[in-house]
Amino acid sequence: MGVLQGKYAEGTNELRTKDLFQERKFYAEDVISTAPEIPTLNLYKKLHYGKVDHYHHAVFPSESNLAQFTTPQDMVLALDFVVDAFNAMRDHFLFLAQKGELASANESSFFTTDLVPKKGWQSLHKAYHSHVEYIYRNFLVHVALKRERQEKMHSFASFIDVITPYFLDTCRSFPITRTGYIYSKYCPIAVSGLVIELFKLDHSIDRPKEMMLEDINYKAYAYLANKYGFYIDKNAPWRLIAKIGSSKLERFMNPYGISSLYEKREQKPAPTVPSPPNYLHNDGLQLYEAVNEIQMQLEEQEETIKGQQEQIMEEVAYQNVFQGYFYKAHESDPESLKNYLMHWYNSYVSANQYITKPSFCEISQETRTVEKIIKPVEKSEVDLVLNSRNVLNLYFHLRARETAISMTAKRSKVVFSRIESILKYKGYDAALSYINQLFCGIYAPKNNRKKMHGAGYNYGTYTDDLAMNEKIVEDKIKKKSAHEHFGSYYNKKNIKDSY
């Protein structure tokens, strides 16, 4: 750190690439490594924390479960149990300050008696709206304003024909669907409602981070964060992240009906071995050593069982939070796409009400330029053009491109024929769920996958991931493998009985 290492971290995005690399390396290896050992979360490695559930479905919180912090100025929100946990932590911090165990603000401490949240929950809908509007503006500039394109966009159906290829070309880098956006690096963790920031600071500047880690009150702040069930973001020490599944956070979750299966289960004491008689001969010593060895094994088993139980408790609590507090993004994705496409088309029409197109006159035998009026589209026409089959077809291909799945036209046709069969015999929701399962857990383009999945992940090919997901789905519908799915003919009876 600054004192121990003889320099402060000077990392900032304004530096040249080489200098920035060295500074980021210094912060990661020298600064963080010497900080107090507390539960921290590295969001570079856990990019999807709070944004995907235990089944890797993209999720976002229900706004009805948000609560407000008691802040003097800004309205800062988070999930209700997160607010309760932070208020308890702040009260404890104030109690320590009143006892004189903390340095005051006069002693240049970041973490004073008044821990005030400055930032919290961010609306996913607002963030996603800004994201897709940016993509649409680029479409207007690079595609729609070209004359030959304008002549083709004379109806909602023709508008879809023009904009769809553009989306398919760009959605690998800039996801179009809400699910793809949540998986991407563009979606902030704050949409989860699990995050609290105590300062409005630039995350790209390393100096304030190091100064906080050296702060005289940092150990007390870190201790209380852990005590009340929070991670500290190691790359932004002023950011607290609720640790879902933590037994320390669970007591704040219980009043809202969230708990683990093991909450009221009595823990049986580990079996013990009675002390051996005090023999002095060799047989007695051997017996004593054998009993000691058994005792040690029992203690190890007890620790293992305890660890397994705690892990199960965390997983169950984690599952309960996402089931009770969050929506699955894919369930509203196709309808959201339809609404945006209708909005974009109507905004385009309002700015381009008239188009000119050549028309051949049979009487004069001349080609003339005719001016045509374009009318806004109604919801009924949108539902007709983008019916259940067509919108699922669009959604399927967008999700395939967003996850960088490489499929031939033939394979794509086979997969979508399966989706059509499910739509016909089991309905829209089942077909949409099938599409989501195909791409569930496949997050991003290949050059970002190691970072998203973690070091050592054998990512192979995207076709492997898709086949694996297809196999999982097929197993659920009592089929043997994904290979059979692509190679066998599904008659009506099989379709009806399989899903």
Above pLDDT 70, what percent of the chain?
67
Q: What is the DSSP code string of 400-468?
A: HHHTT----HHHHHHHHHHHHHHHHHH-HHHHHHHHHHHHTT--S-HHHHHHHH-TT-----HHHHHHH
**Span 60-89, mean pLDDT?**
91
Question: How far apart, in whole angstroms, are the C-alpha atoms of residue 236 and residue 221?
Answer: 14
Residues 77-100 pLDDT 10s: 999 999 999 999 999 998 988 888
Torsion of Cα atoms, 32 then 33 then 35 then 41, to 10°: 60
Asked whether the predicted pLDDT for residue 383 surpasses 90, the reply is yes
- Which residue would you say has higher pLDDT here, 237 or 367? 237
Average pLDDT over residues 343-348: 92
Residue 481, both tokens = 């493998």
| Residue of higher predicted confidence among 462 and 56 | 56
Q: Which residue has the higher pLDDT, 373 or 397?
A: 397
| Least confident segment among 252-266, 274-288, 428-442 | 274-288
SS3 of the chain: helix, strand, coil, percent, to 5: 55, 10, 35
CB 325 within 8 A of CB 62: yes
Which pLDDT value is given to residue 404? 84
pLDDT of 101 higher than 50: yes
Give Cβ neighbours of residue 337 (< 8 Å, ≥ 6 apart).
Answer: 176, 177, 386, 391, 394, 395, 398
**pLDDT, averaged across the chain:** 77
Mean pLDDT of 252-258: 86
Collapsed DSSP state (helix, strand, coil) of residue 306 = helix
Residue written as tokens 């999982």? 472
| Beta strands at 326-328 and 354-361: parallel, antiparallel or unpaired | unpaired
Q: Is the pLDDT of residue 434 over 90?
A: yes
pLDDT of residue 63: 93
Distance of CA 365 to the CA centre of its chain: 62
40-41/230-233 β-pairing: parallel
DSSP three-state, residue 275 = coil
Within 330-378, residue ranges assigned H as helices are 333-351
The answer to whether residues 395 and 333 touch, using CB atoms and an 8 Å cutoff, is: yes
User: Three-state DSSP class for 483?
Assistant: helix
pLDDT band at 299 (very low <50, low <70, confident <90, very high): low
Phi, psi torsion values for 137, nearest 5 degrees: -60, -40
**Within 10 A of 245 (CB to CB), how many other CB atoms are there?**
23
**C-beta neighbour count of 290 within 10 angstroms:** 12
Helix (H) or strand (E) holding 291: helix 282-325
In the prediction, which pLDDT does 478 show?
Answer: 42
pLDDT value of residue 259: 67
Q: Is 198 left (phi over 0), alpha (psi -120 to 50) or beta?
A: alpha
Does residue 3 register a pLDDT over 90? no
Q: CA torsion angle for 198, 204, 206, 207 (degrees, to 10)?
A: -70
Domain boundaries, the chain: 2-122+188-253, 387-499
Angle (CA) 372 377 379, round 5°: 165
Supply the pLDDT for residue 375.
86
Rounded distance between C-alpha atoms, residue 82 and residue 229, angstroms: 9
State residue 313's pLDDT score: 54
Could you tell me which of 342, 351, 29 has the C-alpha nearest to residue 160? Answer: 342
Quote the pLDDT of residue 86.
Answer: 96
Q: What percent of the chain has pLDDT over 90?
A: 36
* pLDDT surpassing 70 at residue 6: no
Are 21 and 162 within 8 A, CB to CB? no
